[in-house]
Amino acid sequence: MKKTPPKFHPEFEPNPNWTREYPGQEEILDYLISVAHKYQLYKHIRFSTSVEEVRWDAPSNTWKTKITRLGAKDAEFGEHYTITSNFLVSGVGQLNVPKYPDIQGVDSFKGKSMHSARWDWDYDLRGKRIGIIGNGATAAQIIPEVAKMFKGAAVQHMETQLPGEKYKDMREKLMPKYDMGCKRVIITDDYFPTFTRENVVLETSAIKRITEKGVEVEGEKEHEFDLLIYATGFKTTQFMYPIKIYGTNGKSLDEIWASGASAYLGMTIPSLPNFSMLYGPNTNLGHNSIILMIEAQAMYINALITKIKTARDSGHTLNISPKQSVVDAYNADVQRRLAQSAMRRG
């Protein structure tokens, strides 16, 4: 008899009380905190800690995770301690290590500078001249046919918010030179109107260097700022950085991924037994919610953990990791399909 697959409920803990269509960071954070309280997750979380290194211990078939406690607050744990676990899951994601631009003079700016992901909430923005470097998002791929459903709507949206001959030149500057889907599809209703403000200037010339006072672009023109904000994305290929992870025979993840990051279904890796990762290689997307994907991955990982736990409960051990041949075949298929997807044009 054919087994019925487990039901997946993507509607887990929906929030009917959002105050607007595009909630702000504070409102989203409040929602996450409320979910954590409702399901009593705080007792399972250790804050103010840094994972330095993780090693697979073959004799015991367990992972040894070295932890460093941050801050000076007294706790039941010492400054350094080790956690032993039967299964290890990485949930650090891709968008956690800021990427700064490789621009001449980036350290010479005398004003205030910050990355968009490392915001200084104590800095008063009122009355300041602010320069923002970058306006893209993490590169992503979607089905080309979908782009033909959306490109016309995107152009119409721009023409509605930047109407007439007055903003014709600005529309041309803001129009991407690549097909829809080659970068993340950003849904917003206040981006284009920002450029109609008298205190906002759109600069599309290439940056030559950063100076003590601001940014110099081609044409020997310099923009002076009090604050520089780097909206330049993240180091998306360094999935576990700066954590050091060592699998069977002491082989590091850096060695395993010497030719590029890959994982079966974006979650499991050869030489790393009883290990899975959320939001791993080739799982990024630019047209939907990553939360839905993570929920599906969590169900898969939970099935693996259940197998390990069942074996342990019966006095046995079980190591689960994909075969290299399986991962290679999966990755080859992913690359084959990506080669036929929307490509960025020069």
CB 171 within 8 A of CB 161: no
* pLDDT band at residue 147 under the 50/70/90 scheme: very low
Domain with residue 49: its CATH number is: 3.50.50.60
Residues 266 and 225 grouped into a single domain: no
Residues 71 and 158 grouped into a single domain: no
Residues 39 and 72 grouped into a single domain: yes
Average pLDDT over residues 168-185: 71
Domain boundary among 205, 230, 255: 230
Average pLDDT over residues 149-173: 76
The verdict on residue 10 lying in a domain is no
Please classify residue 134 by burial: count the beta carbons closer than 10 Å to its beta carbon, then call 0-12 exposed, 13-18 middle and 19+ buried.
Answer: middle
pLDDT > 80? residue 231: no
* pLDDT band at residue 345 under the 50/70/90 scheme: very low
Give residue for tokens 């576990």. Answer: 240
* pLDDT band at residue 73 under the 50/70/90 scheme: low
Residues 91 and 116 grouped into a single domain: no
* pLDDT band at residue 330 under the 50/70/90 scheme: very high
Distance of CA 23 to the CA centre of its chain: 19
Domain count, the chain: 2
Q: Please give the mean pLDDT across all residues of the chain.
A: 79
CB 245 within 8 A of CB 63: no
Domain boundary among 230, 249, 270: 230
Residues 212 and 241 grouped into a single domain: no
Domain boundary among 230, 261, 279: 230
Helix (H/G/I), strand (E/B), else coil: 196:
coil
Q: What's the domain range around 148?
A: 112-230
Nearest Cα neighbor of 117 from 235, 283, 239, 289 is 235
The verdict on residue 16 lying in a domain is no
DSSP, res 250: G
Residues 270 and 196 grouped into a single domain: no
Q: How many CA atoms lie within 13 A of 196 on its CB side?
A: 15
Nearest Cα neighbor of 277 from 126, 88, 150, 108 is 88
Residues 129 and 217 grouped into a single domain: yes
CB 263 within 8 A of CB 281: yes
Helix (H/G/I), strand (E/B), else coil: 119:
coil
pLDDT > 60? residue 76: no
Q: What is the pLDDT of residues 272-321, one digit of tens each?
A: 999 999 988 888 776 667 778 888 899 999 999 999 999 999 999 899 99
pLDDT > 70? residue 184: no
Please classify residue 7 by burial: count the beta carbons closer than 10 Å to its beta carbon, then call 0-12 exposed, 13-18 middle and 19+ buried.
Answer: exposed
Average pLDDT over residues 46-57: 90
The verdict on residue 50 lying in a domain is yes
Q: What is the pLDDT of residues 81-128, one digit of tens each?
A: 899 999 999 988 776 667 777 788 888 888 888 887 777 778 787 777
CB 293 within 8 A of CB 190: no
Residues 167 and 151 grouped into a single domain: yes
Q: What is the pTM of this model?
A: 0.63
The predicted structure's pLDDT at residue 141: 27
